[in-house]
Every structure is written in C-alpha cells, then in structure tokens.
C-alpha cells in the first residue's frame, strides 16, 4: 500500500486535500462506546485515515447487536468477544495505517480521564446520559471538543460541543427535549443509526482538519419514518452559571459522591456491579463449583439458577436475569464471598 493512494478520492475533495489528509493522519480520536453508533463511526473514521483511534467499551457482542452494529459477526457472539476487541480486529484489517487501541472498561470519571487528556476529539457513542454527562464535564475541564449523538426508533439527534464556544450538554438539555424512550424499549432501525453517524463523522472530520468555520452550530433533530428534519439554533442556551461550562465550573459528575457503583442496564434485565478485581484464572476455578464456566481472555461467565454472571478483568460484573440491584448484589456476594 502506497502513501496517500488509498485516500485519493478523499483528497480530491478540495476542502480536505492533501493538507487536510495529513492533519487527519496526525489526530487521535476517543470513541466512547462501540455499539451501533460507535462501530459505524469508528469504521468511517478508520477508512478516512484518522491516525489513532481509542475504542472504549464495557460490553461484549450479543446476537441482538448484529441487526445494527457494524463490524460484528456471529462468531463474535459465540465467543462473547468484547465489542472494543472485536471492532479493533476488523478495523485493523480495514486500515493498518490507523493505530487502534481497544479498551475494555466501563466509562467512568476515573477510567476516562487519562484518555481524554491524550486525544484531539471525543465522539459520544454511548447509550445513556449518565456517561454523556461525565464526558461533558471531562471534555469541558480539559478543553477537548466532543460530538454528542443519540438515536431511538427512527429518530436521532446530534450536536458538536466546542468548550468555551458552544453550549455544553447540560446547557442544551435544559432547553431541548430529549428522547423519553430507549432503543431497548421501542427499538431502533439501522438507517437512523447511520444518519446520526453521518452527521457525527462529518463534523469530526471538520474538527480534525481544523475547518473551524464549517463546523455546524445547530442542533440536528430528525425522524426518518415520519420525514421530519430540524436544525435548531441553540447558541442562546449557553449559561454563564452552568456547573460544567460556566464562568466558575465545578464539574459535578467528577465528584466521587456522584459516581454510581451499581446500575441497571436499561432494557436488558441486567445489573452492573463494580466490585473488586480478581484474576480471571482464579475466578474460573472459583466459579466452577456453581456451574459450567465459559471464558475468553477478557471475561469469565457462569449460569447460576436463572442468573448469568459475567466477570470482567476490571472488576465489573454483569448479573443477567434481574433488574433488582439488591438481588444482583445478593448472588454476587454468594459467589465472591
């Protein structure tokens, strides 16, 4: 493979050109989430020639992901491959010139901070607003631009947040209605995902090649099924007293007291517990007395009665089969002592 030949059609596009392509190759993007939005956006940016891409995701591939989450296969489902690892394998095969860093961890204030400090841009590909608010505080604190994106059903929304210039997510959501449902509850169609990804990655390229005057300043809202599309000027929503981007920010989600230790994963009948780290090898032995154990280099799982417990190397545990944090903790402590 030779030089810029693979990007020939892209460099022919005058606003990018050879200079823009060189800038893309020098930039580092953090993708928070490798599901529907993240896998597609990661593929598009990898094909475009971004220099480095860090993929941060806490989950593994399941069968219901395949309808809309690019890069994953039935083999990934069978092997319970972490999404970040599965995506990295496919992306490296697509473009060996892009450095891909898969990270299998939960996106918290503690785990994300060092990655945020190293990148030029953050792309939100998460499925919950708790994580987005943490991204919002970290991005504003460390002056890193980020691109918000969400979709459910046939609808989607996206907005580019530039610290010090645009309203932040907290400002935005005080004046803008957001989805009251989730894709786990009402579903989502692939084209809605791709529409959000198209807007996010286009804005990402503008930011990365420093085409600042072309960055979209409006909030995008759409519903593909009902043929609705809106661009809303939200510039006046920026608040001087905002705790995340105002004159004297306190970054509330970065406070230890505001961090969630256990949470229900929306719509999945699953509870996540952040517990003590155990070597996966010793867990395999410990869990074998409860039932059949399945393992790969990234996780160990066991089925106990109607519950399935999945232990990750960073101390997180998914307890599938319940929406009760109390019940999940009870079986967790029965297993680990």
* CATH number of the domain residue 127 falls in: 3.40.50.720
Do 266 and 217 have their domain in common? no
CA dist., res. 70 & res. 40, Å (int): 6
Residues with Cβ within 8 Å of 290's Cβ and at least 6 positions away in sequence, in order, are 302, 304, 335
Number of domains in the chain: 2
Match 């631009």 to its residue by tokens. Answer: 145
Do 250 and 266 have their domain in common? no
Q: What residues form DSSP beta bridges with 55?
A: 31, 102
Question: Residue 184 has what pLDDT?
Answer: 57
**pLDDT digit string, tens, across residues 143-163:** 999 999 999 899 999 999 999
Do 71 and 211 have their domain in common? yes
150 is in which domain, residue-wise?
5-254
Q: Which residues of the chain have pLDDT under 70?
A: 1-4, 177-185, 256-261, 266-267, 337
Do 237 and 281 have their domain in common? no
CATH code, 323: 3.30.310.10
CA dist., res. 73 & res. 39, Å (int): 12
Question: Residue 323 has what pLDDT?
Answer: 86
Order of strands across the sheet that contains 307-312:
262-265, 270-274, 316-320, 307-312, 299-304, 293-296
Do 224 and 278 have their domain in common? no
Q: Are strands 218-223 and 28-32 parallel, antiparallel or unpaired?
A: unpaired
Question: Residue 11 has what pLDDT?
Answer: 96
Do 101 and 216 have their domain in common? yes
Question: Residue 83 has what pLDDT?
Answer: 96
Do 249 and 278 have their domain in common? no
CA dist., res. 43 & res. 263, Å (int): 30
End-of-domain residue from the set 233, 254, 275: 254
């Amino acid at each position: 493979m030779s030089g810029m030949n693979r990007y020939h059609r892209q460099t022919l596009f005058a606003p990018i050109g050879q200079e823009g392509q060189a800038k893309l190759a020098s930039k580092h993007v953090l993708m928070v989430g490798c599901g529907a939005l993240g896998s597609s956006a990661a593929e598009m940016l990898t094909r475009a020639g971004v220099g480095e891409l860090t993929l941060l995701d806490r989950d593994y591939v399941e069968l219901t992901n395949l309808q809309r989450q690019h890069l994953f296969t039935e083999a990934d489902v069978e092997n319970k491959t972490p999404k970040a690892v599965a995506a990295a394998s496919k992306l490296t095969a697509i473009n060996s010139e892009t450095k891909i860093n898969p990270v299998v961890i939960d996106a918290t204030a503690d785990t994300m901070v060092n990655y945020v400090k190293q990148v030029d841009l953050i792309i939100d590909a998460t499925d919950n607003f708790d994580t987005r608010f943490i991204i919002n505080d970290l991005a504003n604190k460390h002056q890193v631009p980020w691109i918000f994106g969400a979709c459910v059903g046939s609808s989607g929304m996206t907005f580019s947040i530039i610290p010090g210039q645009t309203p932040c997510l907290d400002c935005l959501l005080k004046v803008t209605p957001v989805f009251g449902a989730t894709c786990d509850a009402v579903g989502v169609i692939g084209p809605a995902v791709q529409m959000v990804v198209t807007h996010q990655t286009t804005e990402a390229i503008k930011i990365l090649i420093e085409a600042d005057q072309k960055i979209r300043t409006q909030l995008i809202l759409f519903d593909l099924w009902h043929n609705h599309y809106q661009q809303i000027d939200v510039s006046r929503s920026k608040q001087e007293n905002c705790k995340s981007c105002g004159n004297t920010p306190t970054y509330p989600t970065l406070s230890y007291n505001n961090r969630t230790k256990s949470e229900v994963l929306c719509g999945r009948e699953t509870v996540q517990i952040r517990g003590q780290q155990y070597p996966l090898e010793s867990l395999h032995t410990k869990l074998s007395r409860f039932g059949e154990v399945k393992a790969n280099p990234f996780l160990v799982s066991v089925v106990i009665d109607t519950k399935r417990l999945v232990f990750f190397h960073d101390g997180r545990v998914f307890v599938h089969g319940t929406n009760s944090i109390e019940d999940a903790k009870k079986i967790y402590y029965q297993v680990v002592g």
